[in-house]
Amino acid sequence: MINLEVPKKAKTLINQARQAATEVFRPISRKYDRAEHSYPTELDMLAALLDGLNTSGEGGAGAAGVRRKDDKDTSGNRNGSNMLTVLGTIELCWGDVALLLSMPRQGLGNAAIASVANDEQLARFGKLWAAMAITEPGCGSDSAAITTTATKDGDDYILNGEKIFVTSGERADAVVVWATLDKSKGRAAIKSFVVEKGTPGFEVVRLEHKLGIRASDTAVLRFDNCRVPKENLLGSPEIDTKKGFAGVMQTFDNTRPLVAAMAIGVARAALEETRKLLAEAGIEVDYDKPAMAQHAAAATFLELEADYEAAYLTTMEAAWMADNRKPNSLQASMAKAKAGRTVVDITLKCVELAGTLGYTEESLLEKWARDSKILDIFEGTQQIQQLIVARRLLGKSSKELK
């Protein structure tokens, strides 16, 4: 059974994360939204604190992963690093999602390394700031269509290809790059490689200007005969047509609930700000009255809160299942799909309810509305998540249901 109360051991973490969001993120949120591509130096000290929380096993935000073989708890009912990281992420993104994405060593590449690296790789790469490079100019939501190649050459692999929309692609110390060992063998040949900055043949081509999450740098990367040691391949180098791609995709089972948590944090921020503005306008949200018996704005607000609760609970379920070593691919995609769509609906509707205050820079509502859209896109778009959910529920393969 899933206990819907926040775990007692998470309360200290949540309080610390909320304090960081309130005292660090919120005060500089507008500053770095305007100063796109400027690195928020205020985050360095906070990043060191999160490093300590992750190392101690207390959880932080962003970089945690599931190392199932190291999990000694077989009771079948525990709240571990995934749950704690999700709860911390919600609080920090209540402050500012772009600033969380700008945190050193808290990238999606770190989550991949934490989840699938072997002990030797974890020792080498565990303290690096790692970005994740999947999307290509001709390959978006269909990760299986990756064309970046990794050719074995002695004790190395030679990478060739281009990656786009890489979060922290310029700032990170390394990038987890998805590439194919053999295009003729399809999905099973796709593997992930850790490529460190400064490696010959690895180039940051440009930074993107974006609608939202402007504090976070988003880069285009090019790999031109980039030679990396074979020891930098995460997971098995064998091409297994039955489970090869599934092994790489398992990373998403951990990172998609994190993106859902980001969406939940932004949605809650928008709801709280809107409730305050409604109260100032004399509009009361009454939970003891039917929605139809209240002001139209209050009724709309109640609908948005209900949607938020549904997204929150699906995310908690996905994180709990990961902590309890239960397959959560379906739940991870459900959480990402629900939270991604919900945050967009909530932030846009909150802008509408707030009127002129929602559309100006007097409040952060307009910024949250811009930031929210990417949370419905990256780590698999809304449409891709629905497709994955449909496949899982109907028992169809990717060939049978496209």
Q: Which residues participate in catalysis according to the annotation?
A: 379
Find the largest Cα–Cα distance for the chain. Answer: 74
Identity of residue 168: S
What is residue 37's three-state secondary structure?
coil
How far apart, in whole angstroms, are the C-alpha atoms of residue 96 and residue 101?
9
Please classify residue 154 by burial: count the beta carbons closer than 10 Å to its beta carbon, then call 0-12 exposed, 13-18 middle and 19+ buried. Answer: exposed
Is-contact 85 110, C-beta < 8 A?
A: no
Strand extents, DSSP E, 114-232: 130-133, 149-153, 156-167, 174-180, 190-196, 202-207, 218-229
Place of tokens 């660090």: 24
Q: Would you say 248 and 192 are in contact if contact means Cβ atoms under 8 Å apart?
A: yes
Question: Using N-to-C axis directions, what is the helix angle for 108-116 and 244-280, rounded to 10°?
Answer: 140
Q: Which residue in the block uniquely carries the two structure tokens 């098995």?
A: 236
